């Protein structure tokens, strides 16, 4: 029997870390052995994570070698600068600009964006290089696979691959210098140039570049001519859904969002539309329920209160992934909101594909010309509405509610056959083929 080749997988986010940043690489590691590649995982020992999800540990296949290296985090300094406690969680979107920022918050954000380039995880670069080099020699590694953010991790992978003269695949879940939270922050010009230089250096050095959307891939190709840049989208794992029952409560028209709602995912026209439909239709007001599960920005709660929606809203903090999938399947309609910011055409969160796999109808708000809108259209999951399209959003709410009342909501559900192309096993097989190509095997 032919033995699997080994790939060094470098990732900051790894169970028991929770949240969307873990899912992509965890599922790749889970299924790569099926396609001839045995992962050896290099991750952080004392990472600063937004959420913890111990249930994800069960997804790690037996026999996987996992190596953890300690780091020094910027976020310890951030807590000191802002007066937070040592064990306080850094919220999602913490470094986005906010009108309610205290001067200490503004100082911390300025320090982060101008002195920690490319990101606040730079303390892990050299420890990861040292351990990675040892693992290459000890484990007889054939290739390196690195996934980011944090983008600093890609610098570790670049030096490891170069020092050991082995192929390297760099995977990007988000853009680098065009990341959304940079848009409103004042960066020193020379720091911007340094960040751009590091990005180009990594893109040029990798044997293959992967990313989650066509728009991000296009931007990378514009920066570096002739790079091998493939789109390998996020997806869903059939096994996550098989273990969840199909029971659903039909007592309420439940509009559900499962994930993290940041301040730039706070469409006023959505909240206004819901409030207006409730004012116009007493039956809808009685039936309607908004369920938000995850880290919800305070700005969102203020908007809900402003429009009189809080009494119809249930907010639950981050839940384990298995429970999150259950909440998706139990929704009447799933709310999908893309951050309202420049450079958002390529935003394709992993949540989109799990939403599609849940088989529920969508109310989607974001760029109508973006990659997510194209996938929704292809999958028969309904249109994307621009955040400023009050009439469209309101009309969609009314149409979905009417169909729910007459038992015809299934006509607005995604096409199961179209969604299957995003199953994690199929995507991992494509990744294995890319590893085969860069190693000539």
Specify the CATH number for the domain of residue 46.
3.40.50.2000
Instruction: With a cut of 60, say whether residue 247 has pLDDT above it.
Output: no
Grade residue 34 by pLDDT with cuts at 50, 70 and 90.
Answer: very high
Q: Tell me which residue range forms the domain holding 316.
A: 238-420
**The sheet that has 253-258: what strands, in order across it?**
313-316, 288-293, 253-258, 333-337, 362-365, 384-385
Spatial distance between the Cα atoms of 39 and 30, rounded to a whole number of angstroms? 9
Q: Which two tokens stand for residue 55?
A: 């249930």
Spatial distance between the Cα atoms of 234 and 259, rounded to a whole number of angstroms? 15
Strand 5-10 and strand 143-148: pairing? Answer: parallel
Instruction: With a cut of 80, say whether residue 326 has pLDDT above it.
Output: yes
Nearest to 144 by CA among 11, 2, 45: 11
CA distances from 92 to 25, 144, 297, 402 (A): 20, 29, 8, 35
- The reply to whether 127 and 194 lie within a common domain is yes
Nearest to 68 by CA among 44, 49, 46, 92: 44
Inter-residue contact 151 to 119 (CB < 8 Å): yes
- The reply to whether 433 and 415 lie within a common domain is no
* Ordered DSSP codes for 82-144: HT--TTPPPPTTTTS--TT--HHHHHHHHHHHHHSSS-TTGGGHHHHHHHHHHHHHHHT--EE
Inter-residue contact 167 to 144 (CB < 8 Å): yes
Strand partners, 379: none
Q: For position 347, what pLDDT does the model report? A: 85
Q: Counting Cβ atoms within 10 Å, is residue 221 exposed (0-12), middle (13-18) or buried (19+)?
A: middle
Spatial distance between the Cα atoms of 145 and 136, rounded to a whole number of angstroms? 12
Grade residue 350 by pLDDT with cuts at 50, 70 and 90.
Answer: confident
Grade residue 99 by pLDDT with cuts at 50, 70 and 90.
Answer: low
Query: Is the overall model pTM greater than 0.85, yes or no?
Result: yes
- The reply to whether 387 and 250 lie within a common domain is yes
* Ordered DSSP codes for 79-90: HHHHT--TTPPP
> Across all residues in the chain, what is the average pLDDT?
87
- The reply to whether 402 and 270 lie within a common domain is yes
Nearest to 20 by CA among 377, 362, 331, 324: 324
107 C-beta neighbours (distance < 10 Å), count? 13
For 381, list phi and psi in degrees, rounded to 5. Answer: -100, 15
The mean pLDDT of 8-34, rounded to a whole number, is 93
- The reply to whether 245 and 191 lie within a common domain is no
* Ordered DSSP codes for 190-241: HHHHHHHHHHHHHHHH-SEEEESSHHHHHHHHHHSTT--EEE----B-HHHH
Q: For position 103, what pLDDT does the model report? A: 52
Minimum mean pLDDT range among 70-79, 89-98, 115-124: 89-98
Instruction: With a cut of 90, say whether residue 392 has pLDDT above it.
Output: yes
Q: Indicate left, alpha or beta for 240 from its phi (over 0: left) and psi (-120 to 50: alpha).
A: alpha
- The reply to whether 226 and 345 lie within a common domain is no
Instruction: With a cut of 80, say whether residue 271 has pLDDT above it.
Output: yes
Instruction: With a cut of 80, say whether residue 111 has pLDDT above it.
Output: no
- The reply to whether 428 and 393 lie within a common domain is no
The mean pLDDT of 419-423, rounded to a whole number, is 95
CA distances from 265 to 293, 297, 337, 351, 376 (A): 14, 9, 6, 14, 18
Spatial distance between the Cα atoms of 10 and 153, rounded to a whole number of angstroms? 7
Spatial distance between the Cα atoms of 384 and 377, rounded to a whole number of angstroms? 8
- The reply to whether 278 and 251 lie within a common domain is yes
- The reply to whether 127 and 230 lie within a common domain is yes
- The reply to whether 373 and 243 lie within a common domain is yes
Nearest to 404 by CA among 361, 370, 437: 361
Spatial distance between the Cα atoms of 432 and 78, rounded to a whole number of angstroms? 39
Helix intervals (H) in 258-320: 268-280, 282-287, 298-306
Structurally, how many domains does the chain consist of? Answer: 2
Instruction: With a cut of 70, say whether residue 338 has pLDDT above it.
Output: yes
Q: For position 2, what pLDDT does the model report? A: 67
- The reply to whether 200 and 253 lie within a common domain is no
- The reply to whether 213 and 321 lie within a common domain is no
Inter-residue contact 350 to 18 (CB < 8 Å): no
Inter-residue contact 13 to 21 (CB < 8 Å): yes
């Amino acid at each position: 029997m032919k033995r699997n080749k080994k790939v060094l997988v470098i990732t900051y986010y790894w169970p028991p870390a929770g949240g969307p940043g873990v899912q992509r690489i965890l599922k790749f590691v889970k299924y790569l052995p099926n396609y001839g590649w045995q992962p050896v995982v290099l991750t952080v020992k004392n990472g600063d994570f937004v959420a913890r999800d111990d249930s994800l540990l069960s997804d790690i296949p037996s026999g996987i070698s996992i190596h953890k290296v300690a780091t020094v985090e910027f976020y310890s300094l951030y807590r000191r600068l802002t007066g937070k406690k040592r064990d306080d969680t850094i919220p999602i979107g913490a470094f986005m600009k906010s009108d309610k920022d205290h001067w200490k918050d503004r100082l911390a954000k300025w320090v982060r964006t101008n002195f920690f380039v490319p990101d606040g995880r730079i303390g892990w670069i050299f420890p990861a290089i040292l351990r990675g080099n040892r693992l290459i020699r000890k484990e007889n590694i054939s290739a390196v696979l690195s996934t980011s953010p944090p983008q600093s991790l890609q610098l570790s992978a670049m030096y490891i691959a170069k020092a050991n003269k082995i192929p390297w695949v760099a995977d990007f879940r988000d853009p680098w210098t065009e990341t959304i939270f940079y848009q409103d922050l004042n960066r020193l010009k020379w720091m911007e140039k340094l960040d751009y230089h590091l990005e180009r250096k990594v893109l040029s050095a990798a044997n293959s570049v992967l990313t989650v959307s066509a728009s991000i891939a296009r931007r990378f190709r514009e920066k570096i001519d002739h790079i091998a840049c493939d789109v390998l989208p996020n997806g869903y794992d059939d096994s996550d859904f098989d273990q969840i029952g199909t029971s659903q409560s039909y007592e309420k028209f439940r509009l559900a969002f499962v994930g993290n709602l940041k301040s730039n995912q706070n469409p006023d026209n959505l909240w206004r539309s819901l409030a207006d439909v409730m004012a116009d239709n007493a039956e809808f007001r009685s039936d309607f329920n908004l369920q938000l599960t995850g880290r919800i920005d305070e700005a969102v709660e203020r908007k809900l209160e402003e429009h009189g929606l809080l009494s119809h809203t249930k907010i639950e903090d981050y839940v384990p992934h298995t429970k999150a999938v259950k909440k998706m399947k139990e929704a009447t309609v799933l709310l999908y909101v893309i951050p309202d910011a420049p450079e958002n055409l390529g935003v394709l969160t992993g949540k989109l594909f799990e939403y599609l796999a849940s088989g529920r109808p969508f109310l989607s708000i974001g760029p109508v010309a973006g990659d997510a809108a194209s996938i929704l259209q292809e999958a028969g999951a309904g249109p994307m509405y621009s955040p400023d399209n009050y009439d469209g959003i309101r009309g969609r709410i009314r149409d979905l509610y009417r169909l729910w009342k007459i038992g015809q909501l299934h006509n607005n559900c995604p096409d199961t056959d179209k969604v299957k192309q995003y199953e994690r096993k199929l995507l991992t097989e494509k990744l294995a083929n890319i590893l085969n190509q860069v190693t000539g095997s």
